[in-house]
Amino acid sequence: MMRSTQRLLAAHREIWDRAKHHPLLRLLERPPSERAFRRWLACELRWFERATAAIGCLLSEIPKSHRYVVAQALLLLTEELDWLEVHAEPGLEDPVIEYWAERIRAVFSEGWDRAMTVLWLGTRLFYEGMKPLEPEDELAREYWERRTSAVIEAFLHDFEELADVAIEALGMAETSAILLEVVEGQMDLWDAGLGLVEGKE
């Protein structure tokens, strides 16, 4: 019997697979310059800041049997924040990035089940998009290794159990709408990132 997460992805396979091949991901594999890559890291830094703060406020609402997964998410996000603060271009702002970073904060105030579904979908989409890449640049390679490590893979496996609980609580119709919103938001964020990475030095 298919899990709720598997049924959700199967129902939207075409749009999901199309999102995984966004041109930004290929550009991150072969960034035009180190500074261009650091601009993308600044995008992620803004998102990670909002997500970390929002998830911390949700921990007490998560079913006790799954809180360890959310605690692990907070640990991973905190570690990535530390890394991004070192490597991201400082002071970079973009209205699209700010909009979706703030939207993440808002979504995470709409209940743990919706928030965890969004987080699982977004994390999995990026992982699946990044996994096939083979960056050669040192900084891009380090970034790729962090985003596709065995630790992330194991986390996604554990996280899927919590996502199943959330999807069952919300129902397939609502989670289908959430998936489409996540894909739209990720594509918008990647479009903004593409503009920054491709921008003139």
**Residue where the block lists tokens 């699946």:** 128
CATH code, 191: 1.20.910.10
The string of pLDDT tens digits covering residues 140-154 is 999 999 999 999 999
Mapped onto helix, strand or coil, the DSSP state of residue 62 is coil
Number of domains in the chain: 1
**pLDDT band at residue 90 using 50, 70 and 90 as cut-offs:** confident
- Domain span including residue 132: 4-198
The string of pLDDT tens digits covering residues 22-80 is 999 988 888 888 988 998 898 888 888 888 888 888 888 888 888 899 899 999 999 99
The string of pLDDT tens digits covering residues 99-109 is 777 777 777 78
